[in-house]
Structure 1
Amino acid sequence: MDKNYRALELDKILDLVAAETTCDDAAEAVRSIEPVKSAGEARLLLEETDAAFVLMAKFGGPSFRDLKNVSNPLRRAQAGGSLGMRELLDVAGTLRSIRSLQSWHDKSAGMRTALSDRFSVLTPNKYLEEKIFTSIVSEEEMADAASPALATIRRKIRNASARARDQLDKLVRSPAHQKHLQESIITQRGGRYVVPVKAEFRGEVPGLVHDTSSSGATVFIEPMSVVEANNEIRVLQSEELEEINRILRELSAEAGEFADGIIHSYKCAVELNVIFAKAQTAYRMKAVTPTVREDGVTELHAARHPLIHKEKVVPTDISLGKSFDTLIITGPNTGGKTVALKTVGLLSLMAMCGLMIPAGEGSEVSVFDHILADIGDEQSIEQSLSTFSAHMTNIISILKAADEKSLVLLDELGAGTDPVEGAALAAAIIEELRGKGVKLACTTHYAELKAYALQTPGVENGCCEFDVESLRPTYRLLIGVPGKSNAFAISKRLGLEERIVDRAGELVSRESSEFEKVIGRLEEDRRKLQDELELAKKAAARARDSIREAEAKQAEAGVQAKRELEQARKEATDIVAKTRRQADALLNELDEMRRQKNKSLSAEQKARLRSGMRDMEASADPVHRREVGDYTLPRELRTGDNVLIFDLDKKAVVLEAPRDGQVLVQAGIIKTRVDVKNLRLLEEKQKDRPRGRTVTKNVSAPEAGTSLDLRGMNADEALMEVDGFLDRVGRMGLAQVTIIHGKGTGVLRAAVQKHLRRCPGVKSFRLGAFGEGESGVTIVELK
Structure 2
Amino acid sequence: MVDKLENIQKNNSIENIFSLKNLEFNKIISMLDSHAHSSLGKKLVKQLHPERIPWQIIHHQNETTEAREFIDREERLPSFGNLIDVRDLITVAIKGSTLTVPKLWDIAGTIRSIRLTKEALSNSIGTYSLLGEYALHLTAFSNLEENLFFSLEDEETIADKATSELKKLRHNLREKNYQIQERSKKLARKYSSNNLLTDSTFTIRNNRYVLPFSSGAMGREKVIIQSSSESGLTFYGEPLELVELNNELQRAYQLVRNEEEKILQMLTSQVGIAGDRIIPCIEICGYLDFIFAKGYLSRQLNAVRPVYCPDDINLNDVRHPL
TM above 0.5? yes
Amino acid in structure 1 at the alignment position of 2:257:
L
Paired residue secondary structure (1:75) = helix
Aligned to 2:42: 27
State the shift of 1:41 in Å: 2.8
* Pair 1:55 & 2:70 matched: yes
- Whether the aligned pair in 2 keeps the contact of 1:178 and 1:184 (CA below 8 Å) is no
Paired residue secondary structure (2:130) = coil
Question: Following superposition of structure 1 onto structure 2, how do residues 478-493 of structure 1 map, counting pairs within 5 Å?
Answer: none
Change (3 A) 1:306 1:254: same
Q: Residues of 2 paired with 1:176 and 1:39: CA distance?
A: 87
Q: Residues of 2 paired with 1:198 and 1:107: CA distance?
A: 74
Q: Residues of 1 paired with 2:289 and 2:299: CA distance?
A: 15
State the shift of 1:175 in Å: 7.5
Q: Residues of 2 paired with 1:89 and 1:284: CA distance?
A: 34
State the shift of 1:268 in Å: 0.6
Moved more, 106-115 or 290-299: 106-115
The alignment-based identity, stated in percent, is 28
* Pair 1:224 & 2:240 matched: yes
State the shift of 1:157 in Å: 1.3
Match of 1:64 among 80, 84, 87: 80
Question: Following superposition of structure 1 onto structure 2, how do residues 331-480 of structure 1 map, counting pairs within 5 Å?
Answer: none
Change (3 A) 1:213 1:153: same
Paired residue secondary structure (2:153) = strand
Amino acid in structure 2 at the alignment position of 1:198:
S
Q: Residues of 1 paired with 2:113 and 2:147: CA distance?
A: 16
State the shift of 1:304 in Å: 1.3
State the shift of 1:149 in Å: 2.0
Superposed CA deviations along residues 101-121 of structure 1, whole A, max 9, x for unmatched, are 122223556744431111121
Amino acid in structure 2 at the alignment position of 1:216:
G
* Pair 1:304 & 2:319 matched: yes
* Pair 1:268 & 2:284 matched: yes
Q: Residues of 1 paired with 2:150 and 2:193: CA distance?
A: 46
Match of 2:272 among 256, 274, 279: 256
Q: Residues of 2 paired with 1:176 and 1:303: CA distance?
A: 87
Amino acid in structure 1 at the alignment position of 2:215:
A
State the shift of 1:53 in Å: 0.7
Aligned to 1:745: none
* Structure with the higher helix share, 1 or 2: 2
Paired residue secondary structure (1:114) = helix
Question: Following superposition of structure 1 onto structure 2, how do residues 87-102 of structure 1 map, counting pairs within 5 Å?
Answer: 87-102=103-118
Paired residue secondary structure (1:179) = coil
Aligned to 1:285: 301
* Pair 1:185 & 2:183 matched: no
- Whether the aligned pair in 2 keeps the contact of 1:39 and 1:293 (CA below 8 Å) is no
State the shift of 1:60 in Å: 5.9
TM-score normalised by length of structure 1: 0.37
Superposed CA deviations along residues 508-561 of structure 1, whole A, max 9, x for unmatched, are xxxxxxxxxxxxxxxxxxxxxxxxxxxxxxxxxxxxxxxxxxxxxxxxxxxxxx
* Structure with the higher strand share, 1 or 2: 1
Q: Residues of 2 paired with 1:142 and 1:177: CA distance?
A: 42
Aligned to 1:452: none
- Whether the aligned pair in 2 keeps the contact of 1:171 and 1:177 (CA below 8 Å) is no
- Whether the aligned pair in 1 keeps the contact of 2:124 and 2:131 (CA below 8 Å) is no
Amino acid in structure 2 at the alignment position of 1:253:
S
Amino acid in structure 2 at the alignment position of 1:135:
S
Q: Residues of 2 paired with 1:175 and 1:198: CA distance?
A: 10
Superposed CA deviations along residues 94-147 of structure 1, whole A, max 9, x for unmatched, are 111111212222355674443111112111212212222222334443222222
TM-score normalised by length of structure 2: 0.87
* Pair 1:214 & 2:248 matched: no
Q: Residues of 2 paired with 1:305 and 1:162: CA distance?
A: 70
Match of 1:43 among 58, 69, 73: 58
State the shift of 1:17 in Å: 1.4
Aligned to 1:240: 256
Change (3 A) 1:175 1:197: closer
Amino acid in structure 1 at the alignment position of 2:62:
E
Unaligned runs of 5+ in 1: 308-783
Change (3 A) 1:93 1:5: farther
Larger RCO of the pair (alpha carbons < 8 Å, separation 6+): 2
Superposed CA deviations along residues 62-119 of structure 1, whole A, max 9, x for unmatched, are 2101211111121121121222222211211111111121222235567444311111
Q: Residues of 2 paired with 1:131 and 1:259: CA distance?
A: 15
* Pair 1:81 & 2:90 matched: no
Unaligned runs of 5+ in 2: 1-7
Superposed CA deviations along residues 270-322 of structure 1, whole A, max 9, x for unmatched, are 1101110111111221101122222333444x311123xxxxxxxxxxxxxxx
* Pair 1:125 & 2:120 matched: no
Superposed CA deviations along residues 729-761 of structure 1, whole A, max 9, x for unmatched, are xxxxxxxxxxxxxxxxxxxxxxxxxxxxxxxxx
* Pair 1:16 & 2:31 matched: yes
Q: Residues of 1 paired with 2:199 and 2:281: CA distance?
A: 59
